[in-house]
């Protein structure tokens, strides 16, 4: 019984082991067959640093897994060629001018290839194409930038600390304003004066607005000057006449000045009377002689009228004059 039971147990174990082996091989075979049935194309890209990317990692496009990394190898000094297997079903959506970059699957996950960009006008990617690479900041670069920012922040904090210390000590304009009460009062008075000036400017603006409204009042002189051409022409004519009067007065003044200059020269009779005392005496003597001669002439004529030879002539002449006066009075 013991030998038979042992034999049966061995047979069962062998069958279980064979079944397990067949199951594993079948799973692997089906997985390989599924990959075999999925057609794909191969594209590549060259990077200076793949940041730990390795064969078998995923390839993503627009948030969708479209392939895997099929090979990673050096192609030159500091150059790594990455070969990607892309599902043929995704080919129509990936264009030749698309770019590829290395990213992470999550915050600390495996490295992946991300395909992005591409113009719809460009042709679709083909088997064997080489895509352009985009440089992405690595973790070291980000740490360097963070370290530099920390240094800058430390420097700013130090400067601010020194500045606040100087302000508290009353140094500088701000410190003086905080520590010196006199300067603070001066600044306060300046602000009051500025406020008063602003209020005055506001009142002046209101007054100017009222004045402009009065100027624009319909029928006013300013309104007529600005809008009524007839009134403007009249005023312009009056100004022209006034200008002519001024010009005439100027000419009259000039003529009087010329005449006065001629009067004071001894080249004319009035100038002789005004400027030459001897000539003026002679003229006065001549006038006296003429007056005396006229008196004597009157006496001679009076005597002639009483002369019997001429007495009849004068009587006839007087009668004729009397008749003429009568006729003139009768008419």
Query: Terminus-to-terminus CA distance in the chain, angstroms?
Result: 206
Beta strands in the chain (DSSP E): 40-47, 58-61, 64-76, 79-87, 99-104, 111-116, 132-133
Mean pLDDT of 291-305: 69
Tell me the per-residue pLDDT of 201-222, one tens digit each, with 9 for 90 and over.
888 878 877 776 666 666 665 5
Write the burial class of residue 47 (CB in 10 Å: 0-12 exposed, 13-18 middle, 19+ buried). buried
Give the span between the Cα atoms of 116 and 59, in whole angstroms.
11
Angle at 220 between CA 217 and CA 223, to 5 degrees: 70
Q: Under a CB-based contact definition with an 8 Å cutoff, are residues 186 and 179 in contact?
A: no
Task: Sort strands 64-76 and 111-116 into parallel, antiparallel or unpaired.
Answer: unpaired
Mean pLDDT of 240-263: 70
39-137: CATH topology is Elongation Factor Tu (Ef-tu); domain 3 (2.40.30)
Mean confidence (pLDDT) of the chain: 75
Task: Please count the other Cβ atoms lying within 10 Å of the Cβ belonging to residue 62.
Answer: 11
Fill in the DSSP letter of residue 148.
H
Give the span between the Cα atoms of 119 and 44, in whole angstroms.
19
Tell me the per-residue pLDDT of 138-191, one tens digit each, with 9 for 90 and over.
666 667 777 888 788 888 877 777 767 666 666 666 566 566 667 667 777 777
Coil/strand/helix, residue 266: coil
Sign of the CA dihedral with 46 first, then 49, 53, and 58 last? negative
pLDDT score for 43: 93
Give the span between the Cα atoms of 165 and 69, in whole angstroms.
60
Give the span between the Cα atoms of 51 and 95, in whole angstroms.
25
Q: What pLDDT band is residue 307 in, cutting at 50, 70 and 90?
A: low
Ramachandran angles phi, psi of 228, nearest 5°: -95, 110
Residue identified by tokens 């062998």 is 14
Is-above-0.85 flag for pTM? no
Tell me the per-residue pLDDT of 223-234, one tens digit each, with 9 for 90 and over.
655 566 666 677
């Amino acid at each position: 019984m013991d030998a038979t039971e042992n034999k049966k147990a061995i047979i069962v174990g062998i069958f279980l082991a064979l079944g397990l082996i067949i199951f594993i091989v079948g799973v692997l075979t089906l997985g390989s067959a599924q990959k075999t049935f999925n057609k794909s194309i191969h594209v590549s890209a060259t990077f200076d640093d793949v940041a730990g990317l390795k064969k078998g990692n995923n390839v993503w496009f627009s948030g969708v897994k479209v392939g895997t990394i099929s090979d990673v190898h050096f192609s030159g000094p500091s150059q790594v060629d990455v070969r990607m297997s892309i599902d043929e079903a995704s080919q129509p959506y990936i264009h030749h001018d698309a770019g590829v970059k290395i990213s992470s699957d999550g915050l600390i996950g495996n490295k992946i290839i991300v395909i992005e960009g591409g113009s719809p006008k460009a042709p679709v990617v083909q088997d064997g194409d080489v895509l352009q690479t985009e440089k992405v900041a690595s973790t070291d670069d980000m740490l360097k930038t963070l370290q530099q920012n920390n240094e800058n922040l430390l420097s700013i904090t130090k400067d601010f600390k020194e500045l606040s210390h100087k302000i508290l000590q009353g140094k500088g304009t701000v410190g003086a304003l905080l520590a010196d009460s006199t300067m603070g009062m001066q600044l306060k008075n300046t602000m009051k004066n500025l406020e008063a000036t602003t209020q005055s400017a506001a009142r002046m603006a209101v007054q100017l607005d009222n004045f402009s409204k009065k100027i624009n009042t319909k029928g006013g002189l300013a309104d007529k000057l600005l809008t009524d051409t007839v009134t403007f022409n009249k005023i312009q004519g009056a100004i022209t006449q006034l200008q002519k009067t001024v010009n005439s007065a100027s000419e009259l003044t000039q003529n009087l000045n010329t005449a006065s200059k001629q009067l004071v020269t001894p080249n004319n009779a009035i100038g002789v009377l005004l400027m030459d005392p001897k000539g003026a005496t002679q003229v006065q003597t001549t006038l006296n002689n003429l007056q005396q001669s006229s008196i004597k002439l009157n006496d001679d004529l009076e005597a002639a009228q009483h002369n019997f030879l001429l007495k009849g002539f004068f009587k006839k002449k007087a009668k004729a004059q009397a008749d003429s006066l009568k006729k003139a009075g009768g008419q």
